[in-house]
Amino acid sequence: MNEVQRIAIVDPSDATREPLRNLLLGVESVWLEAECSRYEFFIDVARQSCPDCVVIALDADHHKALKLIGQLTLESPNMPILAVSSRGDGQSILGALRSGAKEFLTAPVVLEELMLALQRLRTNRATSNGDINTNVNGNSRGESLVVSIVGSKGGVGCTSVAINLGCAMAQDARYNVALVDLDLALGDADVVLDLIPDYTLADVAMNVDRLDMQFLRRSLCKHESGLSLLPHPVQMEDISLIHDEHLGRVIGLLRASYSHLIFDLSKRFVPTDLTAMRMSDVILVVAQLELTSLRNVVRMLHTMDKEEGLGEKVKVVMNRVGSDESDITLEKAQETIGKPIYWQLPNEYKAMLGARNAGQPLMTHAPKSRVHLSLVGLANALCGKSAEPAKKERRSFFSFR
């Protein structure tokens, strides 16, 4: 996230304050505005520092800490307060929340949980102040948007869609966008972006036990468009190092650090693909007006509908619409798959192929192409903005959904 959250903490115990302090200092989106070792002084510290959020450790003196939470809430009703305690029983949590805390974390604090709690506090404060925008999934602008992209068969263009969608989103200065190449065997996102990564997903998996935000962010390479990439393993044998539980933790950390995540999946529905889809807000199924592709969409929808909550995330994107090779109409395609087509991408194979061969996104290689403008429109629609890619373009072709 690009907005820095200023935080003040209070904890009389050095043994617990230092680890919490170090955890916060390792997060780029956080600025430690003030820290205090006395509950009775913290009201004045909060008044002077005017933080965006306060973190109050309860264990040194539970009674004093709860009293402090109540005082802060009375003085500043909209102040986001995060309570931290090793006592994670229902009574302790309820006591903190009744005193005025908005979030509660059990110590020792886990980085992913801390990041998500701070993200929720920021979102809730923005909501109470009336500064809120929502994306296609109903998430506020302060929350992350996670999009999985999967092709109905090989060669339908899902990697190109993923990369150009990510680059389009990254043009918004408020967004921090990352792409994870989960086509572990044959992914080529790094080649398409002409990047030579120092680290891959395999390096992250091998260090998952000591994974922190700084190491994870260093593992991603950044494209000049602003898009960050975590590429697939270079060596085929390293694929076995990556397990779905590893990926779950990586996604948790990335989701807490980046405003938008895009996963370029394989076509095999392996455990890592399913983990990504379960943790996504939107699943884009990329297809073409071709019999085999449409048949596979039906099969994929049938499989995803079997798992609760998965099928409702799916949106079908029809690629290369207008190709002379297809005799299947959009109406017939929708009738076949039994689901509306969310978005159309026009057939501009020359622009797409030229961009891939040049190692450039469409915004650089063919910024005026219809397919680029359509992808910008798709990015805007997913982010809750106006879906119109450009006023001078023919809206009817690009905004079909």
In 81-125, the DSSP E strands lie at 81-85, 103-106
C-alpha 258/C-alpha 260 separation (Å) is 6
**pTM for this one?**
0.75
What pLDDT does residue 1 have?
A: 44
Cis omega (within 30 of 0) on the bond before 231?
A: no
Residue entry with tokens 């430690």: 32
| pLDDT band at residue 257 under the 50/70/90 scheme | confident
Any idea which residue has 């799916």 for tokens? 314
Q: How sure is the predictor about 392, in pLDDT bands with cuts at 50, 70 and 90?
A: very low
- Chain-centre distance for alpha carbon 327: 37
List of domains in the chain: 5-128 (3.40.50.2300), 145-398 (3.40.50.300)
pLDDT-derived band at 252, boundaries 50, 70, 90:
confident
Tell me the two tokens of residue 12.
């009389």
Give yes or no for residue 393 having a pLDDT over 60.
no
What's the CA gap between 219 and 203, in Å, rounded? Answer: 8
Q: Yes or no: say if 211 and 204 are a contact pair by the CB < 8 Å rule.
A: yes
In this model, does residue 132 exceed pLDDT 70? no
Say whether pLDDT at 130 is over 60: no
Can you give the pLDDT at residue 135? 66
Whether pLDDT at 255 is above 90: no
- Lowest mean pLDDT of 23-37, 99-113, 121-135, name the range: 121-135
Considering only CA atoms, which of 233, 229, 234, 209 is closest in space to residue 217? 229
Mean pLDDT over 77-96 rounds to 92
pLDDT digits (tens, 9 = 90+) for 217-237: 889 999 999 999 999 999 999
**What's the whole-number mean pLDDT along residues 269-276?**
93
For the chain, the maximum distance between any two Cα atoms, rounded to a whole number of angstroms, is 76
> Is it the case that residue 209 has pLDDT exceeding 80?
no
Q: How confident is the model at residue 28 (pLDDT cuts 50, 70, 90)?
A: confident
Confidence of residue 400 (pLDDT cuts 50, 70, 90): very low
User: For residue 265, what pLDDT is reported?
Assistant: 97
Task: List Cβ<8 Å contacts ≥24 apart for 41-49.
Answer: 42/8, 42/10, 42/68, 43/68, 43/71, 43/72, 43/75, 45/8, 45/10, 46/8, 46/72, 46/76, 46/79, 49/6, 49/8
Question: What is the spatial order of strands in the sheet that 5-10 belongs to?
Answer: 30-36, 5-10, 53-57, 81-85, 103-106
H-helix segments, 258-290: 271-278
CA angle 77-79-80, nearest 5°? 125
Average pLDDT, the chain: 88
Enclosing H/E stretch for 332: helix 330-337
Alpha-carbon distance values, 389 to 261, 351, 367, 376 (Å): 21, 17, 12, 6
Higher-confidence residue: 393 or 219?
219
pLDDT at 133: 54
Closest CA to 169 of 282, 289, 288: 282
DSSP single-letter state for residue 134:
B
Matching residue, tokens 């219809």: 370
Determine the average pLDDT of the residues in 329-340.
Answer: 94
Contacts of 178 (CB under 8 A, 6+ apart): 166, 220, 227, 228, 229, 230, 254, 258, 260, 261, 262
